[in-house]
């Protein structure tokens, strides 16, 4: 994935930002700054999946200019904080793979639903490919299919759509 | 008879002494009166001068500084005089307003610098916050120091710390910095850096490891310093308040 220039916050060039701070007050400022940086970075670069074992390859967690990396244990604890607000979720038990939701799944659901209703697509069937890989320039364009399905499931619970997930076809019908 | 004459002589002498004393008192009183008159004249002149040059005093920071010095030489503090003539001048109000703005800037930046800010950054932010409405009023570092010192009356919450090379930092958190903490700040400042390590303090100040560690740990407990464990040599202690990217960031 090509890197989009993001405006890094001042903390990103501040070496101790990559060391978990022992002082509670400072640490909570640090964690808050990391949380918003992660969501901002993932949103701009459309990064939906973060694998902790390969986190070094993301400039987000590895600032080569100052030679500082965020330790994987620290990344997991910060992602855990994001999970509390519905902005991330571990997909495997060992907490190596994480999905990042810069919009919560419910928010994604309503963004998609708004798009569908305002474009007169209710009562029609769409493929998931059309939604996230189609020609639309909507925010959910480029959203990882796994995340898309989870977002649609929140709509399904509200009986606003029905997912059709067979091996060959992945589609959704909106009501 | 000798006795009588003797007594007379003593009495005469006594009388003379009293006369001298009276004269002395008279002269002293005269002088005092003169002095008081002179001081009154000076005060009146100073007041006249102040009201005549009111606008210059408000506009020109150098003028303001010299005026302050003149006032303090005769024991007048236009800053604390809220009544009478000096209040009409509004000099106290000027510093009062500055003091309030200093508090505002300190509170707004506390989130990132932990309550320690260089006078330079404080000045830049304050001028920016004052906006266009006050563009005719230049604010000097001297003005800020005077205003910040007035904030001391709130207890140990506000302190101006000299860090050498004519630089100052304003601390806006309770809990005073000790000599050792100030010395650390001075070192960091004199090296033109934003960080320091225990061994650097040993080299520069001849401090034992314990002493350095204690000072740095205390400043970390105050939220003034962040620790970096990824330096190749040793732990480094960073001051966000002296870190350029932090100083320059809008947030």
pLDDT (tens digit per residue) in A2-13? 456 678 999 999
Is the fold of A10-100 the same as that of A105-174? yes
Contacts from A47-50 at CB under 8 Å and sequence distance 24+?
A: A47/A1, A47/A100, A48/A99, A48/A100, A48/A143, A48/A144, A48/A146, A48/A147, A49/A91, A49/A97, A49/A98, A49/A99, A49/A100, A49/A144, A49/A146, A50/A75, A50/A79, A50/A97, A50/A98, A50/A100
Token pair for B21? 């004393």
Q: What is the DSSP string of A119-145?
A: TT-TT-EEEHHHHHHSS---TTTT--H
Residues of chain B contacting residue A22, judged by C-beta atoms under 8 Å apart: 220, 227
pLDDT recorded at residue A1: 45
Check A23 against B240: CB less than 8 A apart: no
Range of the domain at B228: 177-251
Q: Are B236 and B196 in contact (CB under 8 A)?
A: yes
Is residue B55 included in any domain, yes or no? no
What does the domain layout of chain A look like in residue ranges?
Answer: 10-100, 105-174
Q: Looking at the predicted structure, is the pLDDT value of residue B84 above 60?
A: no
* Residue B227, strand partner residues: B237
* Whole-number average pLDDT of chain B: 83
Check A14 against B230: CB less than 8 A apart: no
Residues of chain B contacting residue A36, judged by C-beta atoms under 8 Å apart: none
DSSP 3-state of B59: helix
Task: Return the closest-CA partner of residue B68 out of B58, B166, B103.
Answer: B58
Cα separation, A57 vs A65, whole angstroms: 14
Q: Are A147 and A99 in contact (CB under 8 A)?
A: yes
pLDDT-based confidence at residue A105 (cuts at 50, 70, 90): very high
Cα separation, A63 vs B228, whole angstroms: 14
Task: Return the closest-CA partner of residue A21 out of B245, B184, B235.
Answer: B235
B193: domain CATH number? 1.10.10.10
pLDDT recorded at residue B91: 67
> What separation, in Å, do the N-terminal and C-terminal C-alpha atoms of chain B show?
103
Cα separation, B140 vs B48, whole angstroms: 25
Which of the four CATH numbers 3.40.718.10, 1.10.10.570, 1.20.140.10, 3.40.50.1360 does domain A10-100 have?
A: 1.10.10.570
pLDDT digits (tens, 9 = 90+) for B123-144: 999 888 877 555 556 788 888 8
Cα separation, B227 vs B109, whole angstroms: 20
pLDDT recorded at residue B160: 87
For residues A25-43, give the mean pLDDT: 95
The percent of residues in chain A predicted with pLDDT above 70, rounded, is 97
Which of the four CATH numbers 1.10.10.10, 3.20.20.70, 1.25.40.10, 3.90.209.20 does domain A105-174 have?
A: 1.10.10.10
Overall number of domains in chain B: 1
The region, left, alpha or beta by phi > 0 then psi within -120 to 50, assigned to residue A173 is beta
> What separation, in Å, do the N-terminal and C-terminal C-alpha atoms of chain A show?
35
For residues B52-72, give the mean pLDDT: 77
Q: Looking at the predicted structure, is the pLDDT value of residue B122 above 90?
A: yes
Cα separation, B21 vs B82, whole angstroms: 43
B169 Cβ neighbours under 8 A, 6+ residues apart: B116, B117, B118, B119, B160, B161, B163, B185, B241
CA distance, residue B72 to nearest chain A CA (Å): 42
Residues of chain A contacting residue B236, judged by C-beta atoms under 8 Å apart: 15-16
Check A14 against B112: CB less than 8 A apart: no
Query: Which of A23-27, B5-9, B24-28 is predicted least confidently?
Result: B5-9
For residues A135-148, give the mean pLDDT: 86
Residues of chain B contacting residue A13, judged by C-beta atoms under 8 Å apart: 245
Check B243 against A29: CB less than 8 A apart: no
Check A10 against B112: CB less than 8 A apart: yes
Among B111, B194, B221, B228, most A C-beta atoms within 10 A, so best to mutate, is B228
Residues of A with CB under 8 A from a CB of B: 9-11, 13-19, 21-23, 25-26, 29-30, 67-69
Residues of B with CB under 8 A from a CB of A: 111-112, 114, 195, 220-221, 223, 226-231, 236, 238, 240, 243, 245-246, 248-249, 251
Is residue B45 included in any domain, yes or no? no
Check B236 against A29: CB less than 8 A apart: no
Q: Looking at the predicted structure, is the pLDDT value of residue B85 above 60?
A: no
Residues of chain A contacting residue B249, judged by C-beta atoms under 8 Å apart: 9-10
pLDDT recorded at residue A129: 87
Ranked by mean pLDDT, the top range of A146-155, B4-13, B35-44 is A146-155
Query: Which residue of chain A comes nearest to B115, CA vs CA?
Result: A26
Check A10 against B231: CB less than 8 A apart: no
Check B114 against A26: CB less than 8 A apart: yes
For residues B85-101, give the mean pLDDT: 72
Residue B85 parent element (H or E): helix B84-89
Is residue B240 included in any domain, yes or no? yes
Query: Which residue of chain A comes nearest to B225, CA vs CA?
Result: A26
Residues of chain B contacting residue A17, judged by C-beta atoms under 8 Å apart: 226
The ipTM (two decimal places) reads: 0.85
Ranked by mean pLDDT, the top range of A102-116, A160-174, B126-140 is A102-116
Check B245 against A17: CB less than 8 A apart: no
Q: Are B218 and B114 in contact (CB under 8 A)?
A: no
For residues A150-175, give the mean pLDDT: 85
Residue A173 DSSP symbol: E
Q: b/e for B43-65, b at 16 or more Cβ within 10 A?
A: eeebbeebeeeeeebbebbeebb
Is residue B142 included in any domain, yes or no? no
């Amino acid at each position: 994935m090509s890197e989009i220039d993001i405006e890094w916050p001042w903390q990103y060039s501040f070496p101790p930002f990559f060391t978990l701070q022992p002082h509670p007050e400072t640490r909570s400022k640090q964690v808050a700054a990391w949380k918003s940086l992660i969501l901002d970075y993932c949103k701009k670069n459309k990064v939906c999946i973060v694998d902790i074992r390969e986190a070094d390859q993301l400039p987000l967690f590895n600032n080569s200019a100052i030679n500082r990396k965020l330790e994987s244990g620290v990344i997991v604890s910060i992602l855990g904080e994001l999970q509390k607000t519905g902005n991330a979720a571990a997909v495997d038990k060992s907490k190596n793979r994480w999905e990042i939701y810069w919009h919560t799944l419910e928010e994604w659901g309503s963004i998609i639903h708004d798009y569908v209703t305002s474009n007169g697509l209710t009562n029609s069937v769409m493929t998931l490919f059309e939604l996230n890989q189609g020609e639309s320039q909507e925010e959910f364009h480029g959203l990882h299919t796994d995340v898309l399905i989870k977002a649609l499931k929140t709509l399904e619970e509200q009986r606003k759509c029905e997912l059709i997930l067979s091996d060959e076809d992945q589609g959704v019908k909106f009501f | 008879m000798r006795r009588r004459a003797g007594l007379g002589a003593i009495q005469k002498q006594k009388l003379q002494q009293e006369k001298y004393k009276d004269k002395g008192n008279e002269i002293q009183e005269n002088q005092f009166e003169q002095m008081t008159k002179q001081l009154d004249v000076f005060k009146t002149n100073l007041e006249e001068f102040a009201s005549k040059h009111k606008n210059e005093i408000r506009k020109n920071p150098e003028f303001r500084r010299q005026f302050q010095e003149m006032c303090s030489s005769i024991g007048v503090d236009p800053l604390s005089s809220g009544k009478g003539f000096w209040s009409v001048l509004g000099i106290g109000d000027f510093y009062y307003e500055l003091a309030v703005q200093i508090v505002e800037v300190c509170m707004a930046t506390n989130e990132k610098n932990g309550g320690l800010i260089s006078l330079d950054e404080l000045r830049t932010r304050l001028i920016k916050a004052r906006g266009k409405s006050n563009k005719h009023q230049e604010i000097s570092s001297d003005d800020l120091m005077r205003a910040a010192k007035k904030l001391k009356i709130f207890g140990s919450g506000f302190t101006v710390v000299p860090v050498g090379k004519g630089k100052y930092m304003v601390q806006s958190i309770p809990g005073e910095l000790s000599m050792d903490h100030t010395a650390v700040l001075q070192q960091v400042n004199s090296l033109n850096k934003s960080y320091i390590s225990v061994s650097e303090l040993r080299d520069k100040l001849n401090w034992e490891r314990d002493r350095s560690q204690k000072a740095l740990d205390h400043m970390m407990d105050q939220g003034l310093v962040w620790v970096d464990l990824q330096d190749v040599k040793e732990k480094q202690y960073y001051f966000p308040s002296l870190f350029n990217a932090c100083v320059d960031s809008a947030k």
